[in-house]
């Protein structure tokens, strides 16, 4: 997931460990997620999912709801991670899923805030206008 021209930053390593747990093993991320963690999400195509999800349990709720909407097909495929100073990491992911019976993929940017070795906050920013048909199996 790391940019080949960038040395592995400690915060990128944390996100790599975290991404290995998503979404099925998210409960195992308790050491990586700050107690007051917040996941910010808005996507006008999924208005029922919009909001702030608090703590590890909130993040679990988010991925459980997303799994229900996508019949368990949601995948986030990391493409690039760029550390910005000592606190922020910007990641590019390609999300794939079946939504309303259509297999799609879209790009998203997630901005992560990492403090004292734990993920404190994340903003999930999807591409809303360029959605491609996907060949999910």
Per-residue pLDDT of the chain (137 residues; tens, 9 = 90+): 545 454 689 999 999 999 999 888 999 999 999 999 999 999 888 899 999 999 999 999 999 999 999 999 999 999 999 999 999 999 999 999 998 898 999 999 999 999 999 999 999 999 977 666 766 54
The per-residue b/e assignment along 63-84, b for 16 or more CB within 10 angstroms, e otherwise, is beebeebbeebbebebeebebe
- At residue 107, the pLDDT reads 94
- CATH code of 61's domain: 3.10.450.50
- At residue 133, the pLDDT reads 72
What span, in angstroms and rounded, lies between the C-alpha atoms of 117 and 94? 25
- Is residue 66 assigned to a domain? yes
- Is residue 137 assigned to a domain? no
- At residue 44, the pLDDT reads 81
- At residue 2, the pLDDT reads 47
The token pair that represents 56 in the structure block: 């590890």
- Is residue 3 assigned to a domain? no
- At residue 5, the pLDDT reads 52
- At residue 90, the pLDDT reads 98
- Is residue 133 assigned to a domain? no
- Is residue 97 assigned to a domain? yes
- Is residue 42 assigned to a domain? yes
- At residue 23, the pLDDT reads 84
- Count: domains in the chain: 1
- At residue 75, the pLDDT reads 92
- Is residue 119 assigned to a domain? yes
What span, in angstroms and rounded, lies between the C-alpha atoms of 55 and 36? 5
- At residue 6, the pLDDT reads 47
- Is residue 51 assigned to a domain? yes
Residue 64 lies in domain: 10-127
Is the pTM here over 0.85, yes or no?
Answer: yes
């Amino acid at each position: 997931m790391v940019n080949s021209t960038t040395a592995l930053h400690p915060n990128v390593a944390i996100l790599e460990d975290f991404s290995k747990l998503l979404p099925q093993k998210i409960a195992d991320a308790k050491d990586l997620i700050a107690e007051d963690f917040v996941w910010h999400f808005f996507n006008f195509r999924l208005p029922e999912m919009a909001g702030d999800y608090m703590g590890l349990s909130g993040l679990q709720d988010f991925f459980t709801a997303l799994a229900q909407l996508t019949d368990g097909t949601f995948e986030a495929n990391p493409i690039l991670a760029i550390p910005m100073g000592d606190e922020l990491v910007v990641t590019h992911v390609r999300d794939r899923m079946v939504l309303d019976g259509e297999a799609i993929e879209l790009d998203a940017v997630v901005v992560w805030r990492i403090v004292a070795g734990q993920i404190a906050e994340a903003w999930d920013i999807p591409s809303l206008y360029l959605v491609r048909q996907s060949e999910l199996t």
